[in-house]
Chain A
């Protein structure tokens, strides 16, 4: 049985200007020990999907309108907060994008590291401290006993992110959700952090849900990748299949827009237009207005992912019906 199964998740925000449908019918699964990459641009709903699972959304404005998130048999979306707290931090951990604001500036590092242990396990402070120090050295921080007594502002961005990883993994969770963990970091530090996460994954065997807008990052890190756009899943497949046998125009367009893959001297491929306004209802496929393969039917039929090859889902109508050469 998969570790996490998300079924038909629907979620919206109430804003001053109306209702923004942030997540519309998103379904996916993660097996134990698997790494799933969630790729999309801003407004795709990738972050919000994960915050929904963790119950971290601001209550009055954000509404979960439907769906389930079944983690090891229990539907996280249906649990009362007290029950949910037994999963959060213990069996499912999360790390965030901005290392500058993710740590409590008033607390020493060791206090913040020990906190999840003291809350979720029956453990003495001394034992918790020892595990905290072990964790700090496992994530590659030199001189852990001195560093543990320091405050976050004394650390650089890369080191803070290591501390975040240590905090998230200290309870040996089954699933780690990483929301753009390296986006705010320099590229060399990003590579270090990704290496670290790979190493921790080997040691601890947890599943990872990695959210990113960077196709390069997911291609080197994930077993499977899911591409989202305007709150819907567009394509989902094993990493190699997604990149070498792309079955959705949006994924294709994203790949083509990446400067790393383009030839110098010729104009960069661009996707015309801009991401849609989530406040407006979007009939049919949300990508249709910008898609070079769009036909009339695309604006009417809802974009639902369907298996088009073994282990490979695509929400593109034309890919499903014909053999669209992408």
Chain B
């Protein structure tokens, strides 16, 4: 009796497998993924690399040498104090990426919870919560973070938290919008009609469908945050010596731009490459995770 029908005999693919297949076909996104992975790996292994391959650590100064261009010994040159650029780049990258990741995670936690509660509750609760977000949005971010840094000292952990505490606003808005959109979908109404408990509807029907957009926006938040950190460091408010981030390197490089261009070029190129890659990856994820392509 079953109608001789469609390709029901093919192997079943879960949503994630399907999405991965789609992502793999997207060359730009895969490029981004590979670049980010490689950079993260290199920066993560900064210690051993500096120790065994380069031979210099990021703090080793060689004042006599001064800034020199790329050569056999120092592959990317040195900075004003004779420190090896490659080493500084790797360690700086580690900090930049960490800040990006951690701040995004902070904003994710706060933003998703806030947005999901607001979207799921609806009504007056939603209105109040969102008006708070609107008010907070109006505050000038830069001044706020500067105040935080001034008051609480220039702690790197605090930097993560400060940035994350501001980024959550956008995440909350996005998540709330998504939750409301998902709530309207017929399968959620069907779940209600079945007589399922609210908790089950939230966790089994709404949240799993939320993961896609969350992943996309998280991936796109990381480059935003990294840029923010670079901006702060450029102002001298972010990461402090002896630690460096790409932002700090760019700042120093900008000061020495004419005499020692390599001090600017390499950190800037690394930063740009990472931002591009993350954005490509994020866009690719958005296409891959888009469930709208379900009508054949």
A binding-site residues for B, Cβ under 8 Å: 16, 272-274, 277, 289-290
A158–chain B nearest beta-carbon distance, Å: 27
Tell me the residues in window 3-17 of chain B with beta carbons closer than 8 Å to chain A beta carbons. Answer: 3-7
Decide if B7 touches A274 in the complex (CB within 8 Å). no
A313–chain B nearest beta-carbon distance, Å: 28
Contacts of A273 in B (CB 8 A): 3-5
8 A/B residue pairs, CB under 8 Å, sorted by A: A16-B25, A16-B293, A272-B3, A273-B3, A273-B5, A274-B6, A277-B7, A289-B4
Contacts of B25 in A (CB 8 A): 16
Which listed residue, B3, B4, B6, B293, touches A277 by the CB 8 Å rule? B6
Given contacts A273-B3, A273-B5, 13 further A-B contacts (CB under 8 A): A16-B22, A16-B25, A16-B293, A272-B3, A272-B4, A273-B4, A274-B3, A274-B5, A274-B6, A277-B6, A277-B7, A289-B4, A290-B4
Contacts of A277 in B (CB 8 A): 6-7
B binding-site residues for A, Cβ under 8 Å: 3-7, 22, 25, 293
CA distance A20 to B7 in the complex (A): 16
CA distance A290 to B25 in the complex (A): 35
Contacts of A290 in B (CB 8 A): 4
CB closest residue in chain B, given A274: B5
6 closest A-B pairs by CB: A273-B4, A273-B3, A272-B3, A274-B5, A273-B5, A274-B6
CA distance A290 to B293 in the complex (A): 27
Interface centre among B6, B25, B293 (most CB of A within 10 A): B6
B250–chain A nearest beta-carbon distance, Å: 40
CA distance A273 to B6 in the complex (A): 8
* CB-based A-B contact count at 8 angstroms: 15
CB closest residue in chain B, given A276: B6
Contacts of B293 in A (CB 8 A): 16
B11–chain A nearest beta-carbon distance, Å: 15
CA distance A274 to B293 in the complex (A): 20
CA distance A299 to B98 in the complex (A): 62
CB closest residue in chain B, given A271: B3
CA distance A16 to B18 in the complex (A): 13
CA distance A15 to B21 in the complex (A): 15
B286–chain A nearest beta-carbon distance, Å: 15
Contacts of B7 in A (CB 8 A): 277
B9–chain A nearest beta-carbon distance, Å: 13
B25–chain A nearest beta-carbon distance, Å: 8
CA distance A16 to B26 in the complex (A): 11
CA distance A290 to B22 in the complex (A): 33
CB closest residue in chain B, given A272: B3
A93–chain B nearest beta-carbon distance, Å: 29
B20–chain A nearest beta-carbon distance, Å: 15
Contacts of B22 in A (CB 8 A): 16
CA distance A277 to B296 in the complex (A): 10
CB closest residue in chain B, given A20: B296
CB closest residue in chain A, given B4: A273
CB closest residue in chain A, given B7: A277
CA distance A131 to B7 in the complex (A): 55
Contacts of A274 in B (CB 8 A): 3, 5-6
CB closest residue in chain B, given A270: B3
Contacts of B6 in A (CB 8 A): 274, 277
CA distance A273 to B5 in the complex (A): 5
Contacts of B5 in A (CB 8 A): 273-274
Contacts of B3 in A (CB 8 A): 272-274
CA distance A272 to B1 in the complex (A): 9
CB closest residue in chain A, given B5: A274
CB closest residue in chain B, given A43: B296
B27–chain A nearest beta-carbon distance, Å: 14
CA distance A245 to B3 in the complex (A): 29
CB closest residue in chain B, given A290: B4
CA distance A289 to B293 in the complex (A): 27
A275–chain B nearest beta-carbon distance, Å: 10
CB closest residue in chain A, given B25: A16
A292–chain B nearest beta-carbon distance, Å: 13
CA distance A310 to B176 in the complex (A): 65
Contacts of A16 in B (CB 8 A): 22, 25, 293
Interface centre among B3, B7, B293 (most CB of A within 10 A): B3
CA distance A216 to B265 in the complex (A): 72
Contacts of A289 in B (CB 8 A): 4
CB closest residue in chain A, given B1: A272
CA distance A290 to B5 in the complex (A): 10
Contacts of B4 in A (CB 8 A): 272-273, 289-290
Contacts of A272 in B (CB 8 A): 3-4
A273–chain B nearest beta-carbon distance, Å: 5
CA distance A273 to B8 in the complex (A): 12
CA distance A274 to B8 in the complex (A): 12
CB closest residue in chain B, given A17: B296
CA distance A272 to B6 in the complex (A): 12
CB closest residue in chain A, given B293: A16
CA distance A289 to B7 in the complex (A): 14
CA distance A288 to B7 in the complex (A): 18
CB closest residue in chain B, given A278: B296
CA distance A274 to B25 in the complex (A): 30
